[in-house]
Amino acid sequence: MKKTYVNTNNYKYPVIIGGNAFKSLQVELSKANLSKRILVIVDRKVLARYKKVIEKDLKNRADKFYILKLTAGEKLKSQTTVNSIYKVLLKENFGRDTLIIAIGGGTIGDTAGFVASTFMRGVQLVHIPTTLLAAVDSSIGGKTGVNFSNAKNIIGTFYQPSLVLIDTNFFKSLSEDDMVSGVGEIIKYGIISDESFYKYIHSNFSSIFKLKSSVIDKIVYDSVKLKVAVVSEDEFDNKGLRKILNFGHTFAHAFESYYKFKFNHGRTVTAGIVAALCLSNRKEIISNAKLRKLLQLPLKLKTKKLIGDFNSSKIIEMMKLDKKNKWGELNFVLLKNIGEMYVDVRVNKRDIKYALEETKKILL
Ligand SMILES: NC(=O)c1ccc[n+]([C@@H]2O[C@H](COP(=O)([O-])OP(=O)(O)OC[C@H]3O[C@@H](n4cnc5c(N)ncnc54)[C@H](O)[C@@H]3O)[C@@H](O)[C@H]2O)c1
């Protein structure tokens, strides 16, 4: 098992990674001196599969214990769900000494995190991500949020958990679609980190899908380390550094909204990476040869249908809702080299449209 720490100006908390990491939960909760009045917010599918493990490892420790199972998915991330969780918390007499443990993918974590940050002005939170995507991305860094009026994550908070525990054994029951989703974010880490990680992902690509434990543990750990480093430096996304994590995401969020969340996050992120690379090429930041080289990794997923046909003008309209926009203009993270990005690049509509049309040619 490996351990790393998110260490911001305000918070320090461990991220524990490995097969069977869940077994150390009791010990880690005690080490962190967390409350014994526990509300578990868990993905219904995960509870059905791992009920015994989850109950055994948590119930004995608790003074108060309540399990709330929810159906994961983008629809969950709503004010309606948030209100229903507040109701449970009040009805069950949970107070300020509550510990919320979120067990599930990113939609469970984002929603539970938002509730933890707002209920009684904030209660303790632990993330136990069970999807690859949540493990390498959403569980780390403290961004919580729900969707509103067809805009992704438009209502939210920054709220750090006290502990993140990633048991890579959970991934064994993921569907291929959910593996593809996590791999989309991993491709992003490969592109924004350095040549050696990029090459490792490239040459071990099929082992990720086979969940070869040495490969999956290394890739998850290295991805987490990268996110941890960025978040520790730029907790509130205001120094520019954290923005590099958004590579491909302005496109991805627009694709998600356009398709009404029919394609999962990682698929749209992969398509978004292709579009961001095409835009970097259009802006003459990368040459045609470099574009071809950099497209190799995302295009390893081309056989999985990443997204469908789209209307570029409508995608641009969707982008106007993106939180990263400033002064009413569209902003992008563009790439110069692996690990070398430009952030806050303002781009005109013509160039965006060009990148979207190229993306269609490449992906469809
Ligand atoms: N907060 C952040 O910083 C951040 C970063 C990236 C993404 N996100 C958000 O994360 C969300 C996507 O996360 P996700 O893909 O994990 O979504 P999800 O929670 O919907 O999970 C995807 C699917 O996997 C299933 N599942 C979960 N764990 C499983 C397991 N162990 N075995 C079998 N099935 C399992 C779920 O039931 C669901 O059907 C999006 O809403 C995105 O906006 C947030």
pLDDT at residue number 302: 83
Distance CA 43, CA 254 (A): 26
In this predicted structure, the answer to whether residue 327 has a pLDDT above a threshold of 70 is: no
Atom of ligand 1 nearest to the CA of 143: 1
Q: Ligand 1 centroid vs 36 CA: distance in angstroms? A: 26
How large is the C-alpha radius of gyration of the chain?
20
Whole-number average pLDDT of the chain = 94
Tell me the per-residue pLDDT of 165-212, one tens digit each, with 9 for 90 and over: 999 999 999 999 999 999 999 999 999 999 999 999 999 999 999 999
pLDDT at residue number 136: 97
- What string of H, E and C letters represents the secondary structure of the chain? CEEEEEECCCCEEEEEEECCHHHHHHHHHHHCCCCCEEEEEEEHHHHHHHHHHHHHHHHCCCCEEEEEEECCCHHHCCHHHHHHHHHHHHHCCCCCCEEEEEEECHHHHHHHHHHHHHHHHCCEEEEEECCHHHHHHHCCCCEEEEEECCEEEEEEEECCCCEEEEEHHHHHHCCHHHHHHHHHHHHHHHHHCCHHHHHHHHHCHHHHHCCCHHHHHHHHHHHHHHHHHHHHHCCCCCCCHHHHHHCCHHHHHHHHHHCCCCCCHHHHHHHHHHHHHHHHHHCCCCCHHHHHHHHHHHHCCCCCCCCCCCCHHHHHHHHCCCCCCECCECEEEEEEECCEEEEEEECCHHHHHHHHHHHHHHHC
Q: Which domains does the chain have, with CATH numbers?
A: 2-173 (3.40.50.1970), 180-363 (1.20.1090.10)
Q: Ligand 1 centroid vs 278 CA: distance in angstroms? A: 27
Could you tell me the sign of the dihedral formed by the alpha carbons of 219, 45, 13, 236, in that order?
positive
Distance CA 52, CA 193 (A): 39
Distance CA 260, CA 270 (A): 17
> Residues 91-114, buried b or exposed e (16+ Cβ, 10 A)?
eeebeeebbbbbbbbbbbbbbbbb
Tell me the per-residue pLDDT of 121-169, one tens digit each, with 9 for 90 and over: 999 999 999 999 999 999 999 999 999 987 778 999 999 999 999 999 9
pLDDT at residue number 299: 95
List all residues whose CB is within 6 A of at least one atom of ligand 1: 43, 45-46, 72-74, 77, 104-108, 110, 130-131, 133-134, 137-138, 141, 143, 152-153, 170, 173-174, 178, 181, 264-265
In this predicted structure, the answer to whether residue 51 has a pLDDT above a threshold of 70 is: yes
Token representation of residue 352: 């965006």
Distance CA 338, CA 188 (A): 10
What φ, ψ does residue 331 adopt, rounded to 5°?
-120, 145
pLDDT at residue number 328: 61
pLDDT at residue number 240: 79
Tell me the per-residue pLDDT of 248-278, one tens digit each, with 9 for 90 and over: 999 998 998 899 889 998 999 999 999 999 9
Neighbours of 2 (CB within 10 A): 15
Query: Which of 362, 113, 129, 110 lies closest to 251, judged by CA?
Result: 362
pLDDT at residue number 326: 62
- Direct distance between the N- and C-terminal alpha carbons of the chain, in angstroms, rounded to an integer: 41
Atom of ligand 1 nearest to the CA of 134: 16
pLDDT at residue number 83: 98
Q: Ligand 1 centroid vs 126 CA: distance in angstroms? A: 16
Atom of ligand 1 nearest to the CA of 171: 31
Q: Ligand 1 centroid vs 133 CA: distance in angstroms? A: 6
Q: Ligand 1 centroid vs 103 CA: distance in angstroms? A: 10
In this predicted structure, the answer to whether residue 324 has a pLDDT above a threshold of 70 is: no
Token representation of residue 123: 């209660």
Tell me the per-residue pLDDT of 52-100, one tens digit each, with 9 for 90 and over: 888 887 888 899 999 999 999 989 999 999 999 999 999 999 999 999 9
Pair 13, 163: CB distance under 8 Å:
yes
Atom of ligand 1 nearest to the CA of 73: 20
Distance CA 299, CA 149 (A): 32
pLDDT bracket for residue 323 (50, 70, 90)? low
